[in-house]
Amino acid sequence: MSLGGSTAGARIAELLRDAKGTLCIAVHRNADPDAVGAALSVAEMAQSLGREVHLIAPEGLERAAKELLKALGKENPFSPPNMAEACDAWVIVDTASISQLGPIADAVLGKEYAVIDHHARNSLYQGKGIVDPEAGSSSEIVALEMEAMGLKPSKTTATMMLAGIIYDTRFFRLAKPTSFRAVAYLLESGADYRLVLSTLTKGRNSVPYSEKVARLKGVSRAGIYRAGDLLIAVTCIGAYEGSVLNALIDLGADIAIGISRRKDRTRVTIRSSKRAEEVLGGAPSADIASHIATALGGSGGGHAGAAGAEVRAEPLEVWGAIASYLASKGLRVKVLEEGRWKEECSD
């Protein structure tokens, strides 16, 4: 069978068709609607080529993704991480770094794999697959490949991919031309736009109790720093990092950093404002994550606005690496308020 699509898309089709043994699709930890939409559509691509695939989530699904599956009347299609051992070849979707693969990293990296992703810095990509930082989402990359191959996603998958695009582009605020092209194709394929909007907006107004507590704790512990005229907030948090950091950005921080201790590692989550992007150039969140990973030995990746890194280093060393990134931009860090994050993050 020969398929159209881009050259990279054709290579993915080749891998899906020819890979020996058990074929699996991996998403990132805490998989969001974009990761789930892209994974479901790659699975349908594989099925159209006569291949069965297993979907593996290293650390479960994020709330919005779960709510969408529920609204679609679909069971969670992902197997737990211990299934990863049985996989012989992989397609990794929407995932930028080893740390985002969590417990399945070793099972994936030892095998043949392709990457489909849109992050500005992707440290997993080794030439096989499609990494397009110009795309607003991974779902739109796969949607346009499917269209070029003459494949139509099922209604459920089309709806999940549409949700992925809307979620990752923050309701089209960060949309690219390819986002809208893909949306047109998904709507023609039967995607349920109203269901996506009602599910994604309903989730917003019903923040769970534990997430509210995490936000308030995260804000109350935060240290506040100044670099040039950028405001930087650093906090110590173990859960709902994205939600806490978005709250800090909403309160006025240009860069918000969440530090979380895990046994022998430190996980760092970063969010940056548009203004930080203008002042610092490049893709600040992703650049800080890469800088930390390079300086301290670990992995990191992400977008201009959101990124993450995981290193075997102490929180204070992480803060030192961030200060050295800012110094490389000619900015010195001044303390406005130390907060309690250092105490909270030391054991």
Binding residues vs Mn ion (CB under 5 A)? 34, 94, 138, 168
CB of 153: closest distance to Mn ion in angstroms?
17
Q: Which is nearer to Mn ion, 67 or 94 (CB)?
A: 94
Q: Which is nearer to Mn ion, 62 or 147 (CB)?
A: 62
Q: Residue of minimal CB distance from Mn ion?
A: 34
Q: Which is nearer to Mn ion, 168 or 344 (CB)?
A: 168
Q: Is the dihedral of CA 212, 261, 228, 134 positive or negative?
A: negative
Residue 221 · residue 339 · CB < 8 Å: yes
CB of 14: closest distance to Mn ion in angstroms?
24
SS3 316: helix
Question: How far is the C-alpha of 298 from the C-alpha of 296, rounded, in Å?
Answer: 6
Counting Cβ atoms within 10 Å, is residue 14 exposed (0-12), middle (13-18) or buried (19+)? Answer: middle
Q: Could you report how far apart the first and last alpha carbons of the chain are, in Å?
A: 58
Q: Which is nearer to Mn ion, 94 or 254 (CB)?
A: 94
Q: Which is nearer to Mn ion, 94 or 287 (CB)?
A: 94
CB of 193: closest distance to Mn ion in angstroms?
19
Structure token digits, residue 32: 């969001």
CA angle 172, 175, 176 (to 5 degrees): 160
CB of 137: closest distance to Mn ion in angstroms?
5
Closest CA to 249 of 285, 282, 298: 285
CB of 324: closest distance to Mn ion in angstroms?
29
